[in-house]
Amino acid sequence: MAYEFAIYEKRPDKHLAVITMNRPEVMNALHLPATLELTAIWDDFAADPDLWVAILTGAGERAFSAGNDLKYRPAPDDPPRPPTGWGGLLTRFDLYKPTIAAINGWAMGGGLEIALACDIIVAAETARLGMPEVRVGGAPSESGGAHRLPRQIPSRIAMAMLLTGRPIAAAEAYRVGLVNEVVPADQLMAAAERWAAAIAEASPLAVRAVKEAALSGADLPLETAMAVDYPGIDRLRESIDREEGRRAFREKREPQWSGR
């Protein structure tokens, strides 16, 4: 299927999907039509058994995403925003396949919120990350920025970003733990693909089970979290992959994962 505001590339030989927000003329700011396309893409990624990891990035060199397209005016007959949220990802809490954000420039407002919804963030040295909503009379609450940011970095730093709206450089984002790696801009996608390949070396069922347990148990007391029966863990225990992993270890060879 062809998309107007996104590029969707499947690489089943690497179990990888590369999703590109494609509105470079407006720094990949998102409007409802772009969100609808991205929602369909994330739906497809979630359902495709050959795709285990996704990389999300922005077209061009200027921006990952500048966030909400404030110049877009919805039409009266526009459909409602999908329940999975802005960019098709912000409130997609049941996606346990891992996701990687490759930030190639400005990641502002909703753009940074989309990155925060990913599991791993790789940033170009030229990237800038910020939550400028307060500077335009807004609040990054409904889309999760005010909630995700303080959960992912120290509170004082998160509050400084949220209350001033000022962006931080990639190096500072790495220092405070907001991103996993900073690389030269021309090495960004190679770095993101390296992370994706490292994840794909593991059992896809195990990876999803770990993500499900980590996210579902994050707000529970430790004793409770450890006692919960997570569906992904239960599936893993009964899987072909679990037996294959143990057999490969005994036979001193690389496992051949089936995702079953």
Sign (positive/negative) of CA torsion 76, 78, 83, 86?
A: negative
- Provide the pairing of β-strand 106-108 with 63-65: parallel
- The catalytically annotated residue of 9, 25, 61, 113 is 113
113 is catalytic: yes
- Provide the pairing of β-strand 120-124 with 106-108: unpaired
- The catalytically annotated residue of 9, 25, 133, 181 is 133
Q: Phi then psi for 173, rounded to 5 degrees?
A: -60, -40
Cα–Cα distances in Å, from 43 out to 4, 48, 91, 194? 17, 9, 13, 24
**Cβ atoms of 93 and 112 closer than 8 Å:** no
The residues annotated with a catalytic role in the active site are: 113, 133
